[in-house]
Amino acid sequence: MNSVILSNRLKTIASYVPNGKKIADIGSDHALLPNYLVINQIAPFAIAGDVNEGPLQAAKRQVQQYGLTNQISVRKGNGLEVIQENEVDVIIIAGMGGALIVEILEAGKEKLSTIERLILQPNIGEELVRKWLDQNHWQIVDETILEENGKIYEIIIAEPKRINGEDPYLGVERTKEELYRLGPVLWRKRPAILLKKWQQEAKKIDTIIKQLDQISNDKEREEKLEKFITKKNWISGVLKCLLKDKPLSK
Ligand code: SAM
């Protein structure tokens, strides 16, 4: 059987799947992750779900090519509707915007009661995902950040909140709203790429501020300027900490 070559991003996501757990990969596209996890005997069973016909057919072809149709079920459907209750232990949703990930989780809430772990990789809007997790009894147990082909990605691992579980939002001198943006675990770990991410965010804000000159309406320009200067000041504070402080102990 041929091995599946994964990008560093997908390989990192795969590394968070505990051995022996059944998985669902929602928005699976070519079903690369399910194929990799089953071929490498990490997952005994996988569901590859996708809402669009093109990716679904691509997934079916890949699964057939690897001869894994007994272990990987390719299903067409919106979000978690492709999963029956108790069918899988771990859900992966990767490569979409945070708002869409939240929409999928919210719409499929009743399917989550038996899920042991969520592995989420929003391309943007990470703060929306963290806020939803926090408000829906999910606890972030790990986070990582990586760079691939010039893009920076964050991966969020969450498990159902436990009574005595460690709260990643506690013991940090930042509000929850700030930590939704920064990532409570990333903020403690402070990997070098986190600094790079926020340096890039600062540059984006600078570009926006320069472009505000083009707004002819004085009131509108001033209001937007104030909003973006507030954001820039916040990011400057973040960068100062990241440059100065060592990782916080966990
Ligand atoms: N998960 C893969 C990855 O991280 O490389 C593929 C990401 S691809 C950019 C996003 C996939 O999500 C597409 O195949 C798209 O059809 C699918 N998708 C978008 N919205 C979806 C939804 N509501 N339910 C299921 N799949 C969806």
3 domain-assigned: no
Instruction: Give CA–CA dist 90/98, Å, rounded.
Output: 18
pTM as predicted: 0.95
Determine the pLDDT at residue 21: 98
Contacts of 147 (CB under 8 A, 6+ apart): 153, 193, 196
249 domain-assigned: no
**pLDDT tens digit sequence for 51-85:** 999 999 999 999 999 999 999 999 999 999 999 98
Residues 37 and 148 in one domain: yes
Residues 227 and 106 in one domain: no
Residues 138 and 198 in one domain: no
226 domain-assigned: yes
Q: Is the CB of 29 under 6 A from ligand 1?
A: yes
184 domain-assigned: no
Average pLDDT in the chain: 95
Nearest CA to 184 out of 166, 172, 198, 196 is that of: 172
User: How far, in Å, from the CA of 215 to the mean position of ligand 1?
Assistant: 37
186 domain-assigned: no
Residues 151 and 227 in one domain: no
Read off the CATH number of the domain in which 76 is found.
3.40.50.150
187 domain-assigned: no
3-state secondary structure of 116: coil
Residues 94 and 196 in one domain: no
Question: What is the mean predicted confidence (pLDDT) over 157-163?
Answer: 94
Residues 238 and 135 in one domain: no
Evaluate if residue 249 carries a pLDDT over 60. no
| Closest residue by CA, ligand 1 atom 15 | 27
Determine the pLDDT at residue 245: 74
Q: In a mutational test of the pocket of ligand 1, which residue from 52, 53, 93, 100 has the highest number of ligand atoms less than 8 Å from its CB?
A: 52
Q: Is the CB of 27 under 6 A from ligand 1?
A: yes
Determine the pLDDT at residue 163: 85
The alpha carbons of the chain give a radius of gyration, in whole angstroms, of 20
Residues 138 and 210 in one domain: no
**Residue 72, burial from CB neighbour count under 10 angstroms (0-12, 13-18, 19+):** buried
Residues 90 and 201 in one domain: no
Determine the pLDDT at residue 179: 98
Q: In a mutational test of the pocket of ligand 1, which residue from 17, 25, 33, 50 has the highest number of ligand atoms less than 8 Å from its CB?
A: 50
3-state secondary structure of 224: helix
Q: Is the CB of 8 under 6 A from ligand 1?
A: no
Residues 237 and 115 in one domain: no
18 domain-assigned: yes
Q: How many domains does the chain have?
A: 2
Instruction: Give CA–CA dist 239/42, Å, rounded.
Output: 38
User: How far, in Å, from the CA of 31 to the mean position of ligand 1?
Assistant: 10
Residues 150 and 199 in one domain: no
Local confidence band at 2 (pLDDT 50, 70, 90 cut-offs): low
For 134, the domain range is 8-166
User: How far, in Å, from the CA of 87 to the mean position of ligand 1?
Assistant: 20
Nearest CA to 43 out of 64, 73, 65 is that of: 73
Nearest CA to 114 out of 154, 80, 74, 146 is that of: 80
178 domain-assigned: no
**pLDDT tens digit sequence for 181-223:** 999 999 999 999 999 999 999 999 999 999 999 999 999 999 9
| Closest residue by CA, ligand 1 atom 11 | 27
Evaluate if residue 161 carries a pLDDT over 90. yes
Evaluate if residue 131 carries a pLDDT over 70. yes
Residues 128 and 197 in one domain: no
Residues 112 and 236 in one domain: no
Evaluate if residue 250 carries a pLDDT over 60. no
